């Protein structure tokens, strides 16, 4: 594990999947879920798809390709290409194994940077093909809830920076249905956390107006301000009755249940021109 550190935060990153696995504040709090039995991950990178494909299959130029839920990047080793006390860059390049399931040449970079009490994570995609490249990408960080042993899960809430209706796109075996329903329990711009929110899989939200989603305890004395402005979609998820919540900024989402499986027509897909460069990022302030 590689470590970055400043006067506020110490973070740990595994080269496998370039996965963020620890954020510890000088206040003594460990903010990340520690990959216990309920879910053996911390913060996987979702690439080159987000969510599930119809029959785990997509078509490109009439050729069928198969990818598991959330793609392959989270199971591959990234190369650390820059490392300092407060900054790290990890790179994954296409190879024979990726080309067998994803016919595009690429370089995927994850850049982590500490500044005061804030962690910035930037995703950069280079299309090294001579054709257009189609992809989705997203984060999946899992934050411990509660953050202190004296608190309960129900002491926490998600607070959105704008008051807006939280309309949840329902899932059917991991695929997006064509209907939405209000998220149960919303109060103004807040969503009190309760395990039952995730009994029917993730909460999938599209086109939020909020730039920031905050994870807060009852009196907002500690928590996380998670800036998602550059991502059009958001997933919120937790394993059944497990003490964590995932706040997932996405460019892309699962296939609709009736999708024809052509990746060039996939809703939410990103298209990058030949030899093009793409960049988006999120930040999280820990307090």
Bridge-partner residues for 52, per DSSP? none
Q: How far apart are CA 158 and CA 26, in angstroms?
A: 23
Q: How far apart are the first and last CA of the chain?
A: 24
Instruction: Read off the pLDDT of residues 78-105 as tens digits, 9 standing for 90 and up.
Output: 999 999 999 999 999 999 999 999 999 9
Q: What is the DSSP letter of 146?
A: S
Phi/psi of residue 59, nearest 5 degrees: -120, 140
The domain in which residue 105 lies consists of 2-286
Which band of pLDDT confidence, cut at 50, 70 and 90, is reported for residue 58? Answer: very high
Q: How far apart are CA 105 and CA 103, in angstroms?
A: 7
Instruction: Read off the pLDDT of residues 98-118 as tens digits, 9 standing for 90 and up.
Output: 999 999 999 999 999 999 999
pLDDT recorded at residue 164: 96
pLDDT recorded at residue 6: 98
Ranges of H-type helices in 1-134 = 96-101
Closest C-alpha among 286, 272, 282, 287 to residue 140: 282
Ranges of H-type helices in the chain = 96-101
Closest C-alpha among 80, 67, 5, 14 to residue 41: 14
Is the Cα torsion angle 174, 161, 74, 19 positive or negative in sign?
A: negative
In CATH, what number is assigned to the domain containing residue 84?
2.70.98.10
Instruction: Read off the pLDDT of residues 191-225 as tens digits, 9 standing for 90 and up.
Output: 999 999 999 999 999 999 999 999 999 999 999 99
Q: Tell me what the pLDDT averaged over the chain comes to.
A: 97
Domain count, the chain: 1
pLDDT recorded at residue 281: 98
């Amino acid at each position: 594990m590689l470590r970055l550190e400043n006067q506020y935060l110490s973070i740990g990153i595994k080269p496998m999947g370039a996965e963020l696995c620890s954020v510890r504040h000088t206040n003594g709090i460990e903010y990340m879920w520690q990959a216990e039995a309920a879910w053996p991950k911390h913060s996987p990178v979702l690439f080159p798809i987000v969510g599930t494909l119809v029959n785990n299959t997509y078509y490109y130029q009439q050729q069928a390709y198969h990818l598991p839920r959330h793609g392959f990047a989270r199971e591959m080793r990234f190369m650390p290409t820059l490392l300092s006390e407060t900054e790290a860059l990890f790179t994954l390049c296409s190879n024979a194994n990726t080309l067998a399931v994803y016919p595009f040449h690429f370089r995927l970079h994850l850049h982590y940077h500490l500044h005061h009490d804030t962690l910035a994570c930037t995703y950069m995609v280079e299309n090294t093909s001579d054709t257009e490249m189609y992809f989705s990408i997203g984060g999946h960080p899992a934050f411990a809830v509660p953050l202190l042993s004296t608190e309960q899960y129900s002491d926490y809430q998600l607070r959105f920076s704008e008051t807006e209706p939280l309309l949840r796109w329902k899932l059917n075996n991991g695929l997006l249905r064509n209907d939405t329903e209000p998220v149960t329990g919303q109060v103004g711009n807040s969503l009190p956390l309760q395990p039952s929110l995730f009994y029917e899989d993730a909460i999938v939200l599209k086109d939020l107006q909020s730039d920031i989603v905050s994870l807060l305890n009852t009196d907002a004395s500690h928590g996380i301000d998670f800036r998602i402005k550059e991502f059009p979609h958001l997933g919120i998820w937790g394993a059944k009755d497990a003490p964590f919540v995932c706040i997932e900024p996405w460019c892309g989402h699962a296939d609709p249940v009736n999708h024809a499986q052509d990746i060039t027509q996939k809703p939410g897909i990103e298209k990058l021109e030949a030899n093009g460069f793409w960049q988006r990022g999120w930040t999280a302030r820990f307090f």
